[in-house]
Amino acid sequence: MAVFTLQDILFSQGFGTRRVCAGLIQQGLVSVGGAVQSDTLAEFDTEGLQFTVQGVPWPYQERAYLMLHKPAGYECSQKPGMYPSIYSLLPGPLRTRGGGAAAGVQAVGRLDQDTTGLLLLSDDGKFIHRMSSPRHHVPKVYDVTTKHDIDATQVSRLLAGVVLDDSPVPVKAAAAEQAGTHRLLLTLTEGKYHQVKRMLAAVGNRVEGLHRSQIGSIQLTFELPERHWRWLTVDEVKALQASPSK
């Protein structure tokens, strides 16, 4: 059993600073069990807790599981160099969630600053490891725009495996589907440094644009605009955790 004040509960869920959370409660915008709450220091057991904020139902999330539509020009780093951090797109409470040296949500793997698309984030270390470890073979789908025409020979080579300069073992695409003269849908189950760009270079082509559209069973649609994020549903998290491993 974990008991926290209502203000701290809202803060942990990313509804804003503690002052903003207190304001939501004091304005009568938060209900628990159908009863409007006005006391910021009222305590509740978080196990199975359901509440509403501004009329929207919300189940208490002990762990954070998020998806973000990453735009170009952002780094997947807490300490970015030339570009802003993707963490600046998240509310402060999610960046400091939990406290301690490893506070806040962390990206599940990374996307280059010029790559757009689906990024998962969590404060659950086991989930992060399962989603990012190559031994679990979680498929990730990339929509690749190339400089030169894609041909059947290049697709065949990507499926058969190409040798990259940091490993003598050929790296294979799990799937490769030509979607246009300069467009390829590429599915990978591991995440080497600049892997897509290096694989295309190995078959004599060049990546001009790169967008990750899917991780496991989770697809990114444009209902979630660039720069925006949302919590994963319970069913989505379960589906990801149940992704087959080899």
pLDDT-based confidence at residue 240 (cuts at 50, 70, 90): very high
In degrees rounded to 5, what are phi and psi of residue 152? -60, -30
Categorize the per-residue pLDDT at 246 as very low, low, confident or very high, splitting at 50, 70 and 90: very low
The pLDDT tens digits for 61-83 are 888 999 999 999 999 998 888 99
Residue 96 in domain: yes
The pLDDT, as a whole number, for residue 102 is 56
Where a domain ends, among 43, 59, 75? Answer: 59
Question: Looking at residues 86-92, what average pLDDT do you find?
Answer: 90
Number of domains in the chain: 3
Range ranked top by mean pLDDT from 26-30, 123-127, 128-132: 26-30
* Residue 246: inside a domain: no
Comparing C-alpha atoms, which of 49, 50, 42 is closest to residue 26? 42
CA 40 from centroid of its chain's CA atoms = 31
Burial of 187 (C-beta count, 10 Å sphere; 0-12/13-18/19+) = middle
- Transcribe 122-188 into DSSP letters: ES-HHHHHHHH-GGG---EEEEEEESS---HHHHHHHHH-EEETTEEEEE--SEEEEEETTEEEEEE
Report which residue type is found at 98: G
* Strand spans (E) along 28-92: 30-32, 35-37, 43-45, 50-53, 56-59, 65-70
With cut-offs at 50, 70 and 90, classify the pLDDT of residue 216. Answer: very high
Residue 134, token pair as written in the block: 């190559």
Report whether 35 contacts 74 (CB < 8 A). no
| Span 168-210, pLDDT tens digits | 889 999 999 999 999 999 999 988 889 999 999 999 999 999 9
> Over 80: is that where the pLDDT of 99 sits?
no
Is the pLDDT confidence value at 244 over 60?
no
> What pairing do the DSSP bridges indicate for beta strands 167-171 and 162-164?
antiparallel
Output the pTM of the full model: 0.85
Confidence of residue 17 (pLDDT cuts 50, 70, 90): confident
To the query of whether residue 8 is one of the catalytic residues in this protein, the response is: no
Average pLDDT over residues 20-36: 94
Residues 20, 44 within the same domain: yes
Task: Give the Å distances, CA to CA, from 189 to 39, 134, 153, 176, 210.
Answer: 49, 7, 21, 12, 16
Contact 83, 69 (CB under 8 A): no
Residues 71 and 178 occupy one common structural domain:
no
Q: Is the pLDDT reported for residue 35 higher than 90?
A: yes
- Would you state the pLDDT for residue 51? 93
- Tell me, rounded to whole angstroms, the distance of Cα 86 from its chain centroid: 11
Q: Longest C-alpha distance within the chain, in Å? A: 67
Domain span at residue 222?
65-135+217-241
Instruction: Output the pLDDT for position 85.
Output: 95
Say which CATH number the domain at 202 has: 3.30.70.1560
Residues 96 and 102: their CA atoms lie apart, in Å, by 9
Query: Does one domain contain both 30 and 85?
Result: no
> Which position has the higher pLDDT, 31 or 17?
31
Q: Do residues 18 and 10 lie in contact, with contact meaning Cβ atoms separated by under 8 Å?
A: no
- For residues 85 and 232, give the distance between their C-alpha atoms in angstroms, rounded to a whole number: 21
On whether both 19 and 32 belong to a single domain, the answer is: yes
Tens of pLDDT along 139-176?
999 999 999 999 999 999 999 999 998 778 899 999 99
Are 167 and 210 found together in one domain? yes
How much is the mean pLDDT over the chain? Answer: 90
Identify the active-site residue in 8, 39, 45, 112: 112
Q: Would the pLDDT of 103 be above 80?
A: no
